[in-house]
Each structure stands twice: as structure tokens, then as C-alpha cells.
Amino acid sequence: MRIKVLLILTLICTAANTNAAYAAEPAIKASSAILAMADGEQALYAKNPDERIYPSGLTKLMTALIAYENLGLDETVTVPDNLSEFTAPLEQSIGLTAGEQLASGDLISAILIGSANDAAACLALRLGGIDSFVGLMNDKAGALGLSGTHFTNPAGSHNAEHYSTARDLLVLYKSLCAIPRLNKLLESSHIKIAATNKSGARTIWTGNSLTSKYYSLDYHYPYATGGKSSASSAGGYSVISSGGKGNAKFICVVVNSVLDQGVNYAFVDAKNLFEYGFKDFTLRQIAQQGDIMREVKAKNAKGQDHILLYAKNTVRLYIENDDTIDRVGVSYGVPDFVTAPIKKGDEAGSVTYTYQGRTAATLALVIGDDIGTSGFKVVGNSILWFFSLKPVKLIFFVVGAAILVYAAVVFYIIAKARKKGKRAKKR
């Protein structure tokens, strides 16, 4: 009896743990936001990540990426005479003058750190004109899989057809972080541009008040490591920022937040989301590189009928502090068989991990050994394959049916002849 009671209590506790609610997520004012791991695909928080928003100054992340890919940081750029046709007096700028010569890296720095519209227009004109440059921006958006994004200009000026999503902006930001020289700019609180033929030296400060106290002391966050902010009447108040504490590294995307009683809630929202990640989650290992994950049939393989599939990489996910890795969902996508010859390291299937209802990681499975082909099995399987073909089956069915009909006719004729022979003997 006692054993039964303990068993029941164990089952109840297990069920309670399985159905336990996750920790409360922070309330934010932004219409759309994501908190994601910096070096993986897991999102710890997501609010309307695919909602269409106006990216405003965050557009310049793409502008900087296109300029870097086409010019690098060391190309000399001359400010064109018609630059003023593509800028407005009250826009953010670094005061470029017609005929001024700067390094492309200085202009890219002015875009990422100072959000300078004149620098964005100058680079676009250098690379074939505004329309051509916007074409490059949209082509790159397509290449990155930014299905919810479309650009009409390099500066982020409002246009109903100029839009993006928090999820797309996260992918775009990670693309820049993957380039060391651009990542260094994103992590800079300010940049100094040396004197040019038309201007004295310039010092440009970032508008991301999570990392800099230059514009405000109210929002500085010691664990923020870089990023870019934006503000406009159409796009609201936004910031994309990276942050790290211990072994935890996140990227936070906050778009279309508000300015309320002088408080920029984009920065407040971002700080709250970072704190949620740092305080409520722990990075835990889910799979180790080289772990045996699955066994599958090996077709035409020499000396064996099955092979083992191994984890290609180590997978770590952020799990809530009071939670267990048992709450991580696992789904295998493995073929019914693999066909020899097989090379060590070839991918053969994958594992998808989910947590808190979201896809958290995808792990490729690889073959652990070189496996040669068995000629005997190839011949045997080829014969079996040939006879499994529908046309071949149909031919055999028709031939078989014809043989049966022919045999029946012959049997009938023979039987009839025997009957006639018996009658003749009786006479």
C-alpha cells in the first residue's frame, strides 16, 4: 500500500513539473520586441516579432552593410555636388560638404554611430545612385531571408512601402556582428573622424544611451555592449542592442516603443528584457558534439546494415533557472535509410529543439565513418528495385494472367479431348 501511495505521489509531482507554468515575462511598452541568444537561434522572449514596423534609422544597418560589402572601409569617397538634393536641413548629419573627401569607413562609422543621413546618401550616390543602391538593399534582404522587409531609401525616411519586422532586424543585426570590423563599430560609444580637405576633425557619439552617457545618464546599462538606436514619429522609439553578463550573451530588439513624460521607453524596455534573460535563465548543454543520436539503415553498405548518426555540434540553450532540460522538445528529421558509399562527416538528418513553444535550435546529424559499397548488395537491391517498378509489375501481371488463361484453355481442350476419347471407346 505504501509503495502504491509513493508511486501515485511521484506521478503527481512529475505531472506537476511537466505542466508547470513558465516565469512571468516582463511587460514592455514596445509594440514588437525579441530577446535572443547572440550566438544561436533561440529566442527567450518574443512580442509580435513578425509585425510590420517602420525601421526609421535602423535602416542604416542595411545601408552600412551594403556600403561595406561594395567599398570596404578604406576606399576614398568624394562628396558629390548634388548631395543636398537628397538631404533635408533638420536631418541628422555630420555636415558633409561638396568636394570633401573621406574614407568609406568614416562614412560607414557616421552611419552606424551617428545615424548620419548625409553619409548614407553620399555612399548611395557613390554606388550608382539612390535607386540602384536601394535595389542592392532589397537584393540583400532577399539573400538574408528577410521576407518581411522592403526598403525605398538608404536613410530610413518614412514611406509606407519602407518597412521591416523585429525578427528581420535581428537577422540583419547578427549579419553585421558576424563581420569583425563592423561589429567593432557597433560596440563603439564614439568615433573620431580626422580632418579632411573641407572640414576639421569630427567626434561622433552613439545615440544608444544603453552604452553611452553622452546624451543621457538615465539609461546607461553596464551589461550592454553595443547597438544602434532610432527615433521617429512614424517608427516610434527603437533600439537594437547586444549585451553580455558572465557566459550569457544576448541581442535585444525593441521597436516602436514610446516617449512618455520624457522617458524613452525603448531603452527601459531593453533593460527589462536583458534583466529577464540574465536573472531568469541559465545556459545549459543539451547535446554534445560527437554524441550518438540515432541509428539508421544503410543501403548497399559493405559489412553492415545500419550506421550511427552523431551530433555535428554542441547545443546549449537558455533554460529557466527552476526548469529542467526535460522541458526541451525534441523532434528528429532522419531518413529511412542512407545509401553507400558514405563519407565520414556527411550530413544525414537533423534534430529540432523547442523550448517555451518556440524553435530553439537545429542540430545537424552526421555519419561517423567512411562506408564502402557492397557489389553483391548493389546487384541484389537493383534486382529488387527493378521488380518493384510499377511498369515491370504490370508486365508480370499481364504475362502471368496470359499464362493462366493459356493454361486454362489448354486444360479445357485436353479435358474435352479425353471426354471424346472415352466416348469413342464405349462405342
In this predicted structure, what is the pLDDT of residue 389?
A: 60
Least-confidence region, from 34-48, 169-183, 320-334, 389-403: 389-403
What are the φ and ψ backbone dihedral angles of 162, each rounded to 5 degrees? Answer: -110, 100
pTM assigned to the model:
0.81
- 3-state per-residue secondary structure call for the chain: CHHHHHHHHHHHHHHHHHCCCCCCCCCCCCCEEEEEECCCCCEEEEECCCCCECCHHHHHHHHHHHHHHHHCCCCEEECCCCHHHHCCCCCCCCCCCCCCEEEHHHHHHHHHCCCCHHHHHHHHHHCCCHHHHHHHHHHHHHHCCCCCCECCCCCCCCCCCCEECHHHHHHHHHHHHCCHHHHHHHCCCEEEECCCCCCCCEEEECCCCCCCCCCCCCCCCCCEEEEEEEEECCCEEEEEEEEEECCEEEEEEEEEECEECCEEHHHHHHHHHHHHHHHHEEEEEEECCCCEEEEEEEECECCCCEEEEEECCCEEEEEECCCCHHHCEEEEECCCEEECCECCCCEEEEEEEEECCEEEEEEEEEECCCECECHHHHHHHHHHHHHHCHHHHHHHHHHHHHHHHHHHHHHHHHHHHHHHHHHHHHC
Residue 375 neighbours by CB under 8 Å, 6+ apart: none
Residue 102 · residue 198 · CB < 8 Å: no
Distances in Å between the Cα of 345 and the Cα atoms of 286, 311, 348, 366 are 21, 10, 9, 5
* pLDDT tier at 407, thresholds 50, 70, 90: confident
Residue 211 · residue 222 · CB < 8 Å: no
In this predicted structure, what is the pLDDT of residue 24?
A: 85
Burial of 410 (0-12, 13-18, 19+ CB in 10 A): exposed
Distances in Å between the Cα of 238 and the Cα atoms of 18, 172, 348 are 37, 15, 42
Query: 60-71 and 166-177 helices cross at what angle (nearest 10)?
Result: 30
Give, rounded to a whole angstrom, the gap between the first and last alpha carbons of the chain.
94
The residue ranges of every structural domain in the chain are 32-283, 288-367, 391-426
* pLDDT tier at 343, thresholds 50, 70, 90: confident
Q: Is the pLDDT of residue 34 over 90?
A: yes
Residue 209 neighbours by CB under 8 Å, 6+ apart: 215, 216, 218, 219, 220, 229, 264, 267
Q: State mean pLDDT over 260-283.
A: 97
CATH of domain 32-283: 3.40.710.10
Pairing of strands 292-299, 337-339: parallel
CATH of domain 288-367: 2.60.410.10
Residue 250 · residue 38 · CB < 8 Å: yes
* pLDDT tier at 384, thresholds 50, 70, 90: very low
Q: State mean pLDDT over 172-199.
A: 96
In this predicted structure, what is the pLDDT of residue 409?
A: 73
In this predicted structure, what is the pLDDT of residue 33?
A: 98
In this predicted structure, what is the pLDDT of residue 11?
A: 35
In this predicted structure, what is the pLDDT of residue 318?
A: 97
In this predicted structure, what is the pLDDT of residue 396?
A: 63
Average pLDDT over the chain reads: 87
* pLDDT tier at 286, thresholds 50, 70, 90: very high
Pairing of strands 248-257, 236-245: antiparallel
Q: What CA–CA distance (Å, rounded) separates 172 from 162?
A: 15
- How does pLDDT run across 80-114, given as a tens digit for each residue? 999 999 998 888 999 999 999 999 999 999 999 99
| Closest by Cα among 85, 53, 49 to 232 | 53
